[in-house]
Structure 1
Amino acid sequence: MFVPRRRPLMRAAMMGGAGYMAGKRAARSNYREQDQEQRLSELEQQQYGGQPQAAAPAPVAAPAEAPAPAGGDLVSRLNELKGLLDAGALTQQEFDAAKAKVLAGA
């Protein structure tokens, strides 16, 4: 009398079921992640009005240089230029050029 063994079939069914469940979980996780990214991008568009935010403000042009002041005005003009340099409105090169113009006119 021949009795078929059913254990290999049961093992295959169990392994197949486990594989199916793992794949299903991965698909759900992937779907949730995509949904979350979509919602986040929609919120960013609402917050920023659909336009990318500017990285930095445009640099301010150096103020036009007035004719060379006389005497005491020379010191006040140099102090004003130094204040602009310290505030970040002028670069070091712009400051040096403006200082040279002020001193050349004296």
Structure 2
Amino acid sequence: MGRPGLVGMAARTAVVAGTATAVSGRVQRRQMGKAQEQQASAADEAELEQYRAQEAAAAQQAQVDAQVQAALAAQAAQQAAVAAAPAAPAAPAGGVDVVAELTKLASLKDAGILSDEEFAAAKAKLLG
């Protein structure tokens, strides 16, 4: 009874080989699981980054849209003001624009260049 027989040796070898195969398979599955987790994490990060980029683009587009709306509103207000402004009277046949001349006289009076009497005289000359 000293040494195991041929069948005993074969059985022992089979047990050792089976155990090694099972342990090797378990290690391989764990490594594959970790690799899949890392890939999923990287995919999640890429998806999150893409979402953030889309959000930033949407915010920028909203800002551009707001600026365009403001510009259109300002343009509409300007057009309404131009349309509402009364048309300047046409210059008389003599070629003198009375409104422009009165405006010049008023600015000269406001600047202190013309006195009240001089302004009244020039105005009467223009209108009369």
What TM-score do the two structures reach when normalised by structure 2? 0.38
State which structure, 1 or 2, has the greater radius of gyration over its C-alpha atoms: 2
Q: Normalized per residue, which structure has more helix?
A: 2
Greater relative contact order: 1 or 2 (C-alpha under 8 angstroms, separation 6 or more)? 1
